[in-house]
Amino acid sequence: MKKILLTALVFLLHCINLTADDHADKIEKLLKEYDEIGMFSGRVLLAKDGNVIFDRSFGFANWESKTPVTNETLFRIGSLNKMFTHAMINQLKNEGKLDHSDPLSKFIDLYQGNEDDKITIKMLIEMSAGLGDYLNNPEFMQNRANFRTVDDFIKIIKNEPLLFEPGTDRKYSNSGYVVLGAVIEKVTGRSYTDNLNERIIEPLGMKNTFYKLIGESIPNAASGTIITFSGNKRNSPFAEQPSPAGGMFSNADDLLKFDIELRKTNLIPQGIRAGGNQVWNSVLAQLKDGYTLIINSNFGQAADEIIMRYEDMLENKPYPKPDVTFNMKLYRVLKDGGIKELSAQLKTLISGSGMEYNDNHLNFFGYELMAENELDNAIEVFKLNCELFPNVPNVYDSLGEAYMNAGKKDLAIKCYKKVLEMEPGNRNAVKMLEQLGPK
């Protein structure tokens, strides 16, 4: 009988190992495809019930100095911060210090009307409160270094109008999670960072997770990397202050510690979460059967692409093969068919890449063209952006900068005046017009 039980146990363990090996084989195959076309840089860790079964690093933490990615390399994790904010809100709920049904007005005064009475903690968590995104606020974009505390963000969020009646719709909101950070501060009488350290980072021994402001030293930090339309890699000067909505630095080891705690406590719902921007991308995917996939990358969108393809692989579905960047595709169209063809294909290219249709894509592409000394093409791209998004002040600001770099003073002045017509008092437009002098 003992022999039968032992044989059964060995067989069971063998089956479990086969399953784990299968998961590891699939992610290794996918990463090899990315590595072969030079489209991934970072670290990937796969765990089963908290035990690491796959851990590989690729590329460089700094592509200019050729510093390799190692297990010690830290990456900006973007909106994965929201998991920490959500977790702390639920800790306070479990402590009886707030409830998801509580109105915002119980904690802070955000709006002058009765909107604070309509907005609940639950709505902020679920992004159904009607708040927008401070990252699109010109005051933040032009003065990023000035935003050092949660209160600094709240001061500009107060002036952002609600996008819809609270509870009637849902829209991704970075501003909403900053407001949750303000609630945490109000309830505890402690700063967001103190709460973060005392409630999560220190208890879990997350020694490689940092909430650092612009200019503060971050050990072993990777550099965000731009892959140019030509395929070259260069460091990005892109910098933003961290907030309760995003921007911390961490690594896969620490994120696995957080994952283990979340699975043990059920503090927040399990799922797949991602964060990043044009030059950073991280994913913490809590998959079924106890599997966790963590991806940290200093290439924008790489982690998002990998997890989507990996999910298809696990279900034995066909998946799109790894491809070059969105801007490389844009450049191919521009080079082969000109600006008219780019305009004709833009929506298809954006939707095919799973992104939201907005002005940011051409704006970023235009600046990349300027950085690569393709100023004429940059001007054409910025002009197209103005045609497609005529109600966005920033598109004229970008075109004005391109005209200024091209020595076309009159056209630059015209663009910056257009910005001021749409947004009186815009600091950058005022500054640029002062530099350009009278027409």
Burial of residue 3, with CB atoms counted within 10 A of its CB: 0-12 exposed, 13-18 middle, 19 or more buried: exposed
Cα–chain center distance at 118:
28
C-alpha span between 361 and 343 (Å, rounded):
12
Amino acid 12: pLDDT:
41
Burial of residue 62, with CB atoms counted within 10 A of its CB: 0-12 exposed, 13-18 middle, 19 or more buried: middle
The encoded tokens of residue 412 equal 């630059």
Which has the closest alpha carbon to 364: 411, 334, 341, 330? Answer: 330
Whether residue 326 contacts residue 334, with contact meaning beta carbons closer than 8 Å, is answered with no
Find all residues with CB under 8 Å of 277, minimum gap 6, and list them: 78, 224, 238, 240, 300
Mean pLDDT by 10 residues, the chain (439 residues): 43 49 94 94 98 97 97 97 98 98 96 92 98 90 90 95 95 97 98 98 98 92 90 82 96 98 96 93 96 96 94 93 88 94 94 85 93 94 97 95 95 95 90 84
Amino acid 439: pLDDT:
58
- Topology given in CATH for the domain delimited by 20-324: Beta-lactamase (3.40.710)
- Residue 62 belongs to what H/E stretch? strand 60-62
The encoded tokens of residue 361 equal 């894509």
Which has the closest alpha carbon to 23: 198, 285, 253? Answer: 285
**pTM (two decimals):** 0.79
C-alpha span between 350 and 357 (Å, rounded):
6
CATH of domain 326-436: 1.25.40.10
- Domain map of the chain by residue range? 20-324, 326-436
Write the DSSP assignment of 142-211 as a string of letters: H-GGG--SHHHHHHHHTTSPPSS-TTS-----HHHHHHHHHHHHHHHSS-HHHHHIIIIITTTT-TT-B-
Amino acid 262: pLDDT:
97
C-alpha span between 103 and 253 (Å, rounded):
37
